[in-house]
Amino acid sequence: MTEEAPAISVRGLTHSYQNNFWEKRRLALDNLDLTVGRGEIYGFLGANGAGKTTTIKILAGLQRQTGGAAEIFGVPASDMECRRRIGFMPENPYFYEYLTARESLDFYGALCDLPRSARRPRNDELLEFVGLSRAADIRLKEFSKGMRQRLGIAQAIIHRPPLVILDEPMSGLDPVGRRQVRQAILNLHAGGATIFFSSHILSDIEMICHRAALIDKGRLIAGGALAELLDTRELAIEVGGAGLDAESLAGLEAAAKSCIRRDGETLLSFGGWEDAYRAVDLFRTRGRLTLLRTVKESLEDYFMRSTGEPVAEAGRLGEE
């Protein structure tokens, strides 16, 4: 392991597969290049089937590529020595249902060659770290998905790896569960770990990642700091208010890009400041102004723009 090497280096990574002998081989990864620096939280985003899990399996040494190179701290990912420096959690971690959380971590600690005397304090430390201390002696068949995900993170870091790879760690979680997993990731990073995680939940990547890569159909679309990827121009100006007469409101709606009415209030989106200022003046003088803000490109907008995915227009179902 070289001290100068990045945590992850992927060069020309290619992988093809076939489901049976008669089927033509399909490309899961197509000449993928990727570099993750030490100490980063790096988001790996793409739609389902884009090639995220295949890449992660290769990095974790669970699958061999058909072309290119994948290295962990300067060593081929297939090298057994890499296992000691990787903590890995799959998208749907499997646990023995009749073990408790504490028993599960003790089992995984033994697999990592931790001596018995060290396992108990380490297990207690990890349960506290992921917020499962109170559930330490509950059988896993009683755990919610969010609790299982956090236990999955605990088992992934039981041997204190410098690189933690998580496959869709927040998939299927409710808002509370996602927040708890996000906080666990931030705590790991604060402790000095490099975090590489895949997701199709774009808001989570936008909230905590330093850099991100977008792949589509196995190919790298773009990568870099989020501030560099996103269009920082103002895409729209939103003005909200209430109490306008119907004639004034109709005039504003005619100039707006979109209009939403709810609970007596109106939210208007404008493409330029001239129309937005006119709306602000009308709400201030004839009604009540409740909102004025600019809207810039989100990671979701960027994803749609980069992959060319069409965005369905709301309210069109059944219309001719």
Q: Check pLDDT > 50 for residue 314.
A: no
**Contact (CB, 8 A) for 29 and 44:** no
Q: Check pLDDT > 80 for residue 298.
A: no
Q: What whole-number distance in Å separates Cα of residue 194 and Cα of residue 190?
A: 10
Which CATH class name applies to 234-296? alpha beta
- What's the pLDDT tens digit per position in 244-264? 888 888 889 899 988 988 888
Q: What pLDDT is attached to residue 319? A: 36
Q: What pLDDT is attached to residue 151? A: 93
Domain with CATH 3.30.70 in the chain: 234-296
Domain with CATH 3.40.50.300 in the chain: 8-229
Q: What pLDDT is attached to residue 299? A: 66
pLDDT averaged over every residue in the chain: 85
Per the listing, tokens 């980069």 go with 306
**Contact (CB, 8 A) for 28 and 17:** yes
The domain 8-229 having CATH identifier 3.40.50.300: the answer here is yes
pTM: 0.75
Write the burial class of residue 161 (CB in 10 Å: 0-12 exposed, 13-18 middle, 19+ buried): buried
Q: Check pLDDT > 70 for residue 224.
A: yes
Nearest to 275 by CA among 251, 241, 244: 251
Q: In percent, how much of the chain has pLDDT > 90? A: 37
| Segments in 78-195 forming alpha helices (H) | 101-111, 116-129, 145-156, 175-190
- What's the pLDDT tens digit per position in 87-121? 999 988 889 999 999 999 999 999 988 998 899 99
- What's the pLDDT tens digit per position in 22-80? 778 888 898 999 999 999 999 998 878 888 999 999 999 999 999 999 999 999 999 98
Q: What is the DSSP letter of 235?
A: E
